[in-house]
Structure 1
Amino acid sequence: MKTAVITGGARGLGAATAERLRQDGVRVVTLDLAGDVDYQLDVTDDGALESVAAEIGTVDILINSAGIVGPGVPLVETRAEDWRKVLEVNVLGTVATMRAFVPGMVERGWGRVVNFASMAGKDGNPNLAIYSASKAAVIALTKAAGKELATTGVLVNAIAPAVISTPMNAETAPEALAHITNLIPMKRIGQPEEVAELVAWLASEKVSFSTGAVYDISGGRATY
């Protein structure tokens, strides 16, 4: 039985992915700041991650779903502390979990890492400059790590969803939500279960010749 660690596993896409992987017989360990999860911790806390990694033992799959949106304001109204907070969670948190769990995967010669990026990281969303920049960083991180690990048996890929029906997006400013929904040719937002299907595939043995890639799930918004 394979073991998966899912950050941001308490709700939204992380919770949907946890449920989907369990259907495949995967042992799922969920991490989040709060909520009904196996371990409550901050992904930016290296010491806590190290301790939890030791408790969990062998990990084959890492799903980096933890993330925050940050303020929905024009770029010139953003503050340095807003940037630091979002980048700390969305980028450094992803890096921290990879540092904690990828070495064991490399040692065993098999692993799957799926990082949650966003269409915002490819297109840039107005009044969400911080979030957009953080997800662009996740995309570049994924490409670099995928190339570094390409011969190890550990595959690192990212997904770039358009707007999905999750608690995080329920907190997004209505005008921003309307704008990004209007960009989707299917004229609807995605469902967490639809995203979880893509993640489950990327976390499986069915994927063998793809790494450092970004998989769009956007209702037609992304065509490149």
Structure 2
Amino acid sequence: MKISFYIFCLFAVGLLSCELDNYDAPTASFSGQFIDAQTGALVEQDLINGTVIQLAEHGYDPVGLQYLIVKNDGTFENKLLFENTYTVQPVRGNFYPVDAQELKIGTGTVMDFMVTPYLRIINPQINYLDGKVTATFSVEQSGASNVRKIGFFAHPNSVVGQPVQMFSVEKDLNRDVTVDEVFTLVIDVAANSTIFGKADDFYFRIGAIANAAESKYNYVSAERITL
């Protein structure tokens, strides 16, 4: 009898647990883009350790923060949110900080962030010749922060950047620049065949990082080259 009663209690608790966990599935979605307020271009990112959007859902104490990762091309999307009001703020970005704001998120909510990137890559050119991939470009400062470093990154995947690369060339600057100054960075493919022989195609991406607290690299789109 004691064993039967114990089994009954477990069954009852199980039913109660199922009832308590029977919540509606999330039906809200949130998507958008990070757009350069001056040029209208997408502000490209790093997929790893790049910009994230901090979401604080209202109605909870304490508030548990959620983080939405921004894609390489500067777009984002989350289809697994609950309909509610959120405090929304991008953090750890490669642009000057923006204020938090409240947003009602429901089905198909779209919001674009108009931002000012720390730096802009101007007139980028990537050429492959005689076993070397050469990048030429200029850098535009959009505010008080000068240029800490420039870089040229290679990886077989299009998410290439400073955190995702198999080979890179970086140069410290730590100074102001003008858009008239042309920089050249060279990756010697032939001299590093043990790395570049692992794939027929590599993606190459130009970037620059500003002297600003928690700043990240600013980029242009990666270019695919058959080696």
TM-score by length of 1: 0.26
Q: Which has the higher helix share?
A: 1
Q: Which has the higher strand share?
A: 2
TM-score by length of 2: 0.26
